[in-house]
Amino acid sequence: MTTYGLIGYPLTHSFSQWYFTDKFTHEGIIDSRYELFEMPDVATALPALLQRPDLRGLNVTIPHKQTVLPYLDRLDASAEKVGAVNVIKVEADGTRTGYNSDYYGFRQSLEEWLASLNRTTTNLQALVLGTGGASKAVVAALSDLGIPHKVVSRNKTPANLSYDELPAVISQYTLLINCSPVGTYPNVAEAPALPYEQLTDRHLLYDLVYNPAETRFMHLGQERGAATMNGYQMLVLQAEKAWAIWQE
């Protein structure tokens, strides 16, 4: 039996486990299983896990997308570009390579969404809400697509905007990407602190949150005529990219 799994802490729910278990069943992949490895500290638990002879690959979620780096032998260009890892492949020789499939999932889903709306990247500028590992993947993809962007954080830094500054600039940035967990179930009444009354039908709101399917961030944008998208397609695409990496 070949084992794949997810490491992170806490693992209260897992899209990845549901997705891959369902995939194995429906595609007749009978020699594989997907497990959860809740791991408060990688230093005490990851080395032993990586020595399991049946382990072929891991997904990595918060807070370990950077703390796993010392345990890898090499990084794929995607992980180098982002500076974070969310996929580990255990190679045939036992060495470990880190990848970032969030980059691929976000980039492909954004390109497909823009095409469905008959929108292009021309004159498109983005605000990236949040500074975590997912944000880093989004920023890398936006850079490669040539979309100017600013990261928004709770506290202003020389590189980032603060939420307090958004009323003065939000008309310039028509693509708003929520990379924070704000609005995730069960906290469905929450939304990033934006001046929603300034949104128009020119704005595009992309929420990396997928549960609920329509977040308050999305709902408030729709009320102003904005197009919206949740993070489900990105999750599917990044999961399929991870599977492709493991099978290479």
Contact 74, 95 (CB under 8 A): yes
Residues 6+ apart with CB under 8 A from 77: none
- Is residue 89 flagged as an active site residue? no
- Retrieve residue 241's tokens: 């990219």
Q: What is the DSSP letter of 118?
A: T
Q: Which residue has the tokens 């308050």?
A: 216
Query: 23, 65, 89, 156: which one is catalytic?
Result: 65
In the beta sheet, which residues pair with residue 12? Answer: none
**Cis preceding linkage at 212, omega within 30:** yes
- Residue 106: name the closest of 89, 69, 81, 70 by CA: 81
Sheet with 32-38, edge to edge strand ranges = 32-38, 2-8, 55-60, 87-90, 96-99, 74-75
Contact 186, 164 (CB under 8 A): no
Residues comprising the chain, all counted: 248
Rounded CA gap, 142 and 151, in Å?
A: 11
Rounded CA gap, 124 and 191, in Å?
A: 23
Rounded CA gap, 52 and 37, in Å?
A: 13
CA 172 distance to own-chain centroid: 25
Residues 6+ apart with CB under 8 A from 122: none
Residues with a catalytic annotation lie at: 65
